[in-house]
Structure 1
């Protein structure tokens, strides 16, 4: 004899989950609107601000002191304004923003569906495991892709504005953060998978 009886959350827990869902929807809507605005700005291609990263060891500036004189400093990043953005820079920028919208919508959508399942008292299931894995993998790959396309935008902008006079724009990679995020996602997915199996085994004994 098996039982599929689900546990009921307290009102406080249910309220917290509902609040989480509403907050997630608002975040997705906000980021989508901001990304659309950025897409329009990139497509227009006039006076576009672009964040650029540099190699600090080769890019230096002199910071003026209040008492006079200056001090040398390394330049990590700066926002430059492109009077006219070339298509080779605008296209990767637009792709990055579209990818950001898709990533945010998928990740938050999966988490909202997961929260909805938890609200019904079902925490561990194959569906919930799939939702967690989908959200994690999409977020990991999606945000890495956004970073990649944003760097393409920055590098192409620097090359156009300086006429290839600055050769230190970079495509930054953070392997430790990427590996750590992948480990956390794999751990959470494993926990949900084991929890689902244990729950099914427990229900089979009831």
Structure 2
């Protein structure tokens, strides 16, 4: 005997929550695009380009002593300004913004579409699995690519400022959050894949 499962009818509170989620996602996506565009417009003239740079065991002085006296510190991160950037570094800086904005847009779009599917009662389906997989691994790619591109731009700034005499090549991605994000993305994909298979196997059964 087969039956047809009725579609879930969302309540008003469910719809309100979904619309709130949709609005928040739209705001975040627009903010990411605006921020990326403003940054690209700022750096494209390639004059006095300010970049955030990672340092590795670099000693410096900061006015943190009594009466503002300089004391030695170890730099971890600082903003530096180069008169111009090498072309490759400038391209990396622009690509950083494009990848960051694209990652945010793709992840939010997938999650919003997944939310609408759930509201319609379609939790485990091939479409939901694709959305979860795309969101998870796009976020993973963006998390790794954005700091990588930023570091490439910063290393170009170091080379320009020091006339290639300051060796501070840093290409680092925080490993623990990266592995956690990879685990979450893989787990979500596996869960939805299994759920989709179970739904197919039991579809139409009472």
Q: Residue deviations 1:82-133, cap 9 Å, x none? A: 2223322211111121122222221111111111112222222110011000
- Map 1:44-55 to 2 at 5 A: 44-55=45-56
> Aligned pair count?
204
Per the TM alignment, residue 68 of structure 1 is displaced from its structure 2 partner at its CA by 5.9
Q: What is the root-mean-square deviation of aligned Cα atoms in Å?
A: 1.7
Provide closer, same or farther for how the CA distance between residues 82 and 68 of structure 1 changes in structure 2, counting only shifts above 3 A: closer
Q: Residue deviations 1:51-93, cap 9 Å, x none? A: 00010x3x11223313464432110010012222332221111
Counterpart-to-counterpart distance in 1, 2:24 and 2:131: 18
- Map 1:74-93 to 2 at 5 A: 74-93=74-93
Q: Residue deviations 1:32-57, cap 9 Å, x none? A: 111011111221111221000010x3
Per the TM alignment, residue 9 of structure 1 is displaced from its structure 2 partner at its CA by 2.6
Aligned residue number for residue 59 of structure 2: 60
Q: Is contact 2:111-2:132 (8 Å) kept? A: yes
Unpaired segments of 5 or more residues in structure 2? none
Unpaired segments of 5 or more residues in structure 1? none
Deviates more, 1:112-121 or 1:124-133: 112-121
Instruction: Determine if the alignment matches structure 1 residue 196 to structure 2 residue 187.
Output: no
Aligned residue number for residue 16 of structure 1: 17
Aligned residue number for residue 123 of structure 1: 123
